[in-house]
Amino acid sequence: MAANPDSLGTEKIGKLLARYAVPAIIAMASMSLYNIIDSVFIGHAVGAMALSGLAIALPLMNISAAFGSMIGIGSAAIISINLGEGRRERTFHILGNQVIMNLIIGVSLTVMALIFLDDILRVFGASGETLPHAREFMEVILFGNVITHLFWGLNEVMRASGYPRKAMALMVTAVGLTAVLNALFVFGLDWGVRGSAAATICAQAVALSLEIVHFSSKKSFLHFRRGIFRLSRRIVGGIVSIGVAPFLVNFCSSIVVIFVNRALMTTGGDLYSGGYGVMNRVVMLFVMICAGFNQGMQPIVGYNFGAKKYDRVVRALRATILCAVGVMTVAFVLGELIPERIAWLFVGASDPNAEELVTIAAKAMRIVMMLFPIVGFQIVTSNFFQYIGKAQKAIVLSMTRQMLFLVPLLLVLPRMWGPTGVWLSFPIADAVASGLAGFLLFFQLREFKKFSKNYEKTDYDLRGAGSADGYGERTGD
């Protein structure tokens, strides 16, 4: 049974954040576990060089995810805002537009990427040894691209429309199936890298079918119905305008990975790309937990922002920042104290390259994660601007951290200190980006205070003017 979305404007913030964030955290951690499970099975069954191939394929996977997140998160955000404004009817059309957009973009990306796959992977840094592994993995992933886009997109809408626990359950189901099918396909059937990719797509297909059942039921708060599967320029524009921020985050992450892989190939070699792949998957697990807190915050912030309850918006933001900082502090401690133990999970001891790969990955973790406690603040703040419809500020925070700060560092520091320069680029960029996030947030909070005073004054004037219900009438679109 769905929670009443109207409770987002009345219930205690802590209780709401727990209700929405815990399922989202489990869901987002599960999302990260997809890549970890793939890496563990591939590392143990195929070897360290296959892990390097997987790291080369990561930018292309991120680019595909960038389009999926643009549609899914953009749709969820405007659905929450419209529910807060009392416009439930419009949310049905947002759902229909999201499905059509996912289908169109998913098919288009699949066709284009398959045609130029080898060329793309070479640009991303693939060598003669890593190209076959990267190609085998991505061919299967790309054929299932539409399934992946629809699965993630509908999961976002399910959560935003009052079913966070069901969204979490489906995500966990998909991850559990991925682990079981990986064991079957990779070890049982000896399908290697292709088997790991096939396990992911098959698991998502099962979860997607259950999502379709949910949205096909008229008992669901938001469901499929006739007339909603027609693209609307206004709705598409709204989805894209808000979703462009997460799109740029993922797209820029892909560009960064390309620079990282090429710098590591030049200064270190294939195994350094594999070490980066291991480190990146560990880092992303904690980042995705923070993303879970963000997603728990999203419907609360979106609804209350739409309802002009700015004090509740600020309280939700403050609670989420504290949680994210705590999570990234745990990551910092683990990354500094036991990185070798973590890295050994990804590769078999019998692999001749295992010890070198573990040494590389451990050093990367210690350096990259040294400022992680403040990274939690930066992650939440960037997404907060997105959730209140301030897409430009969200884009600025995303773009500056990735492109303005990190990429130039990746061009300069590796020439001075080799692979160590690559690792050092990350904490330096994090420090500067966090400072910028704090600066923009300070002025946004001042703006909220001004809006709250003006709204209270307007409300008082309307009451004094003798309005029937004591509230001003809000006009629609």
Q: Which residue, among 437, 300, 445, has the nearest Cα to 378 in the 3D structure? A: 437
In this structure, is residue 473 part of a structural domain?
no
In this structure, is residue 476 part of a structural domain?
no
Cα 230 to Cα 397: distance, rounded to the nearest angstrom: 33
Split into its structural domains, the chain has a count of: 1
In this structure, is residue 474 part of a structural domain?
no
Q: Which residue, among 173, 136, 129, 145, has the nearest Cα to 61 in the 3D structure? A: 145
In this structure, is residue 291 part of a structural domain?
yes
Q: Write down the pLDDT at residue 356.
A: 93
Tens digit of pLDDT at every position of the chain (477 positions): 444 566 777 788 888 888 888 877 887 787 778 778 888 888 888 888 888 888 888 888 878 877 887 898 889 888 888 887 778 888 899 999 999 999 999 999 999 999 999 999 998 888 888 899 999 999 999 999 999 999 988 988 888 888 878 888 898 899 899 989 999 999 889 898 999 999 999 999 999 999 999 999 988 888 899 889 999 899 999 888 888 877 877 787 788 888 998 899 889 988 898 899 899 989 989 998 998 898 788 888 888 887 788 888 889 999 999 999 999 999 999 999 999 999 999 988 788 888 999 999 999 999 999 999 999 999 898 888 878 877 778 778 877 777 888 999 999 999 999 999 999 999 999 999 999 999 989 888 888 877 666 555 544 443 444 333 332 333 333
Residue with tokens 């807190």: 293
Q: Which residue, among 130, 131, 135, 136, has the nearest Cα to 49 in the 3D structure? A: 130
In this structure, is residue 82 part of a structural domain?
yes
Instruction: Judge residue 475's burial from the number of C-beta atoms within 10 Å of its C-beta, 0-12 exposed, 13-18 middle, 19 or more buried.
Output: exposed
Q: Write down the pLDDT at residue 132.
A: 92
Cα 69 to Cα 49: distance, rounded to the nearest angstrom: 30
Residue 92 exposure: Cα atoms within 13 Å on the Cβ side: 13
Cα 316 to Cα 226: distance, rounded to the nearest angstrom: 36
In this structure, is residue 268 part of a structural domain?
yes
- pTM: predicted TM-score of the whole model, two decimal places: 0.75
Q: Write down the pLDDT at residue 6.
A: 62
Q: Write down the pLDDT at residue 106.
A: 92
The parent domain of residue 195 ranges over 5-462
How far, rounded to the nearest angstrom, does the alpha carbon of residue 252 sit from its chain's CA centroid?
Answer: 13
Can you count the helices (H) and strands (E) in the chain?
Answer: 17, 0
In this structure, is residue 470 part of a structural domain?
no
- Kindly give, in sequence order, each residue whose CB lies less than 8 Å from that of residue 346, ignoring residues fewer than 6 positions away: 39, 40, 43, 51, 278, 281, 357, 361
For the beta carbon of residue 304, count every other beta carbon within 10 angstroms.
26
C-alpha dist (Å) from residue 10 to 4, 81, 93, 151, 175? 11, 15, 26, 31, 34
In this structure, is residue 46 part of a structural domain?
yes
